[in-house]
Amino acid sequence: MSAAEDLIRHYDALQSRWKVSDRIADYARLVVPTGNSVEAFHRWFHLKEAYSHQLLARLLKDADWVPDGQFAILDPFSGSGTTLVSALSISEEYAVIPRVLGIERNPFLREVGHAKAAGMQQGPTLARRVRAALPGLELLYQKAQETAWSTPSATLNNRKFFTAEHLQSLLALRIAIEQIDNGAVVSLLRVCLAASVEAAGKLRRDGRALRHQPRWEPKHPKAVFDANVTRVLEDLDSRAESMSSRGAINVLGDARAAHLHAGRRKFDWIVFSPPYPNNIDYTEVYKTEAWALGLWDDPAAMRAQRLSTIRSHPSVRFPELYTYVQCPYADEVGALLDPLLNAIPDDRYRRGRLQIVKGYADDMLRVFDACRRVINANGRLAYVVGNSVHGTKEGSFVIAADLVLARIAELTGWKVEEIRVARKLSRRSFDSEHLRESVVILRPA
């Protein structure tokens, strides 16, 4: 039997352990950002890798779970804040107290989620503060335009991507915003600035890369920024007066240490979508926004950010350190991974692919262990993950992340309640029943 055939049998045996529901109605549109680009607060920055703002409510409905008294929820991969904002909305619907914690490793995305949550909670109060700051911001911007600002970003400095005028406008906006003496207003305006970057240049976020679009007609950053501010103010004005300002917080941190960020808090639900093991480096994909906001001082800081992320990509050479080899269930993890490791072709990409499989499993084992420590006895965990195909022609193989993570979760004290297959993924010249995107539901064992 070939290694590829052995891997398929391995996946089939894993899958037979659990309830698998295929193509549940509506889930295909919920694992992608359906409606987020037009929904208040969610629309402040479009994260194409996000799931829909409607997913959380659907998970509660399918579990026949109704918040009572308070709603405690954790998202250890909070991204642009979809879970945080959705949880705040649900808490209002059921008139319960929100206890929402988001954790995000990417400093730019963490700032987006933080601003959205602050906007939801402060509403018209924050709108008034923003409006009060705008005249001063305009003067600060005009003054900043008189100084030549620089950035260490090679991408922003590339005139194929950004004209000198547009780069100067972006940097002047950042300098002006940083001089405002109001943290919540600053955070919100920085998100408006970040949401202006793509439209101001000739780079488009496209899957795992930024692609040059020479035929694009970039818009002036200040015009896009002003439109973004108007949109944000509309959403803030649509709110009732302020909620508790501490109902939801979004911290810069590591999902692998979620229990440390949570402290003594326990959660009813843990909902997240981790990076998929599909070679996408989110530090790279959102680097122009991060550079525009001044989040890194030099390329070394950007590299350090990459090295701090989940090992789902080979963009940097991560240390060959795997904690699972010393854990009590090292043999079980080895049995889980060996058929996948054996299916990796012996070519120039082998080392990077071995690193993805072992590093991703190792990191996610730590995530599930940390989450298990902070779940309520009757709580649930739901994760959204897509499986990915690697290699070419005869050397192609699938990393069935939904199944691999489900088994890892079992080893760390979870019970797999159900695997809900949301949609089949298509790739040219490759087909497999395991090439799909799923929502997996766990309960404490």
pLDDT band at 126 (very low <50, low <70, confident <90, very high): very high
Query: 101 in helix, strand or coil?
Result: strand
Residue 436 tokens, joined = 């799909």
**Residue 128 predicted with pLDDT over 70:** yes
**Residue 20 predicted with pLDDT over 90:** yes
**Residue 347 predicted with pLDDT over 90:** no
Angle between helices 221-237 and 183-200 (to 10 degrees): 130
Residue in 325, 357, 296 with CA at minimum distance from that of residue 10:
357
CA separation (Å) from 130 to 123, 127, 141, 236?
A: 11, 5, 15, 10
Q: What percent of the chain has pLDDT over 90?
A: 85
Write down the number of H helices and E strands in the chain: 16, 12
> Out of 68-82, 162-176, 417-431, which region has the weakest mean confidence (pLDDT)?
417-431
Give me the chain's average pLDDT, please: 94
pLDDT of the residue at 206:
85
pLDDT of the residue at 433:
86
Residues 82 and 105: their CA atoms lie apart, in Å, by 15
pLDDT of the residue at 348:
86
Angle CA 259–263–269, to nearest 5:
60
Helix (H) or strand (E) segment spanning residue 283: helix 282-285
Longest dimension (CA), the chain: 72
Structure confidence by residue, pLDDT tens digits, 361-387: 999 999 999 999 999 999 999 999 999
pLDDT band at 242 (very low <50, low <70, confident <90, very high): low
Q: What percent of the chain has pLDDT over 70?
A: 98
pLDDT of the residue at 117:
95
Residue 147 tokens, joined = 């100084």
**Residue 389 predicted with pLDDT over 60:** yes
- pLDDT mean over 417-442: 89
pLDDT band at 218 (very low <50, low <70, confident <90, very high): very high
pLDDT of the residue at 244:
57
- pLDDT mean over 114-123: 94
Structure confidence by residue, pLDDT tens digits, 42-96: 999 999 899 999 999 999 999 999 998 889 999 999 999 999 999 999 999 999 9
| Burial profile 303-341: b = 16 or more Cβ within 10 angstroms, e = fewer | eebbeebbbbbbbeebeeebebeebeeeeebeebbebbe
Residue 256 tokens, joined = 């692998």
**Residue 427 predicted with pLDDT over 90:** no
pLDDT of the residue at 73:
97
Helix (H) or strand (E) segment spanning residue 212: strand 209-212
Residue 370 tokens, joined = 């940390």
- Ramachandran region of residue 13, left (φ > 0), alpha (ψ -120 to 50) or beta? alpha
Is the C-alpha dihedral spanning 198, 388, 280, 421 positive or negative?
Answer: positive
**Residue 267 predicted with pLDDT over 70:** yes
CA separation (Å) from 311 to 169, 219, 314, 315, 321?
A: 36, 36, 8, 9, 11
